[in-house]
Structures are given as C-alpha cells and as structure tokens.
C-alpha cells in the first residue's frame, strides 16, 4: 500500500495520559498535514510541515499538542495530559508542493482517539 498510513487506528485512553500518533506519508511527498475531525464536522487544520520544517500551527493546537517530522518523512503528533475534549479523529494528509503551489492532499484513514 503506497498511500498515507496512520497508527494506531484506534486509541482509548484515560484522561491525563499522554498519547502519540504516527503518520507515514506518501514517500515522495514533501508536505504533511495534521487535521482533527469531530463527529458531524469537517476536518479542522492543526499544523503542517514542509519537509522537516513546521510552517504553521493552528490556534487549536494548544501547548499540550506537539508535532514533529524529524527527518522530513514520517510525523508524530503527541497529546499530553489528554482531556475528554481531545476525543476526535486525527487525520494526516500529504501532498507534493511545487513552485506552482500545493498539490492534491491525500488523506490517511485517521487515528480515532477516545478519552475516558
């Protein structure tokens, strides 16, 4: 499978615990995005990387959230001291950006987080 893969697909945790999600983008893609989606809503932008550089972070991304893409390939999204309001689907997407602009975003299947 050469698409965007995310792990784990489902995570159930207790409030206050830390969780980490991993995203492996399409190999030649230089852009990687994290989105959050709650039930009945469209995905909301969290942050994105161009190669290893984190270029933008949403105000939704509180200081409990941190994302990294250390080698410009896979990315991790960590949530510290989880709260029930963090329960959502966390989506990763990748694209190949060029001088003509950003290309099509390909999404993974998402990591569903449930905080008890």
Partner 1 sequence: GESVGLHLPTLSVQEGDNSIINCAYSNSASDYFIWYKQESGKGPQFIIDIRSNMDKRQGQRVTVLLNKTVKHLSLQIAATQPGDSAVYFCAEISTFGNEKLTFGTGTRLTIIP
Least separation in angstroms between CB 20 and partner 1: 19
Least separation in angstroms between CB 7 and partner 1: 13
Angstrom distances, CA of residue 115 to CA of 12, 33, 93: 6, 23, 23
CB of 58 or CB of 80, closer to partner 1: 58
Contacts of 69 (CB under 8 A, 6+ apart): 32, 49, 51, 52, 54, 75, 76
CB of 14 or CB of 100, closer to partner 1: 100
Site residues (vs partner 1, CB under 8 A): 4, 33, 40-45, 48, 56, 91, 93, 97, 101-102, 104-110
Least separation in angstroms between CB 8 and partner 1: 14
User: How many other C-beta atoms are found inside a 10 Å radius of the C-beta of residue 98?
Assistant: 9
User: How many other C-beta atoms are found inside a 10 Å radius of the C-beta of residue 95?
Assistant: 21
List beta partners, residue 19.
79
Token pair of 59 as six digits: 């105000």
CB of 7 or CB of 80, closer to partner 1: 7
Least separation in angstroms between CB 1 and partner 1: 13
């Amino acid at each position: 499978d050469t698409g965007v893969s995310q792990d784990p697909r489902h995570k159930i945790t207790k409030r206050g615990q830390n969780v980490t999600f991993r995203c492996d983008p399409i190999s030649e893609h230089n852009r990687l995005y994290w989105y959050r989606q709650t039930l009945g809503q469209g995905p909301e932008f969290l942050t994105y990387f161009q190669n290893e550089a984190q270029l933008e972070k949403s105000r939704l991304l509180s200081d409990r959230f941190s994302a990294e893409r250390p080698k410009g390939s896979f990315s991790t999204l960590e949530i510290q001291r989880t709260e029930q309001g963090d329960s959502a689907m966390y989506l990763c997407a990748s694209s190949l950006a060029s001088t003509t602009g950003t290309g099509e975003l390909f999404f993974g299947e998402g990591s569903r987080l449930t905080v008890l």
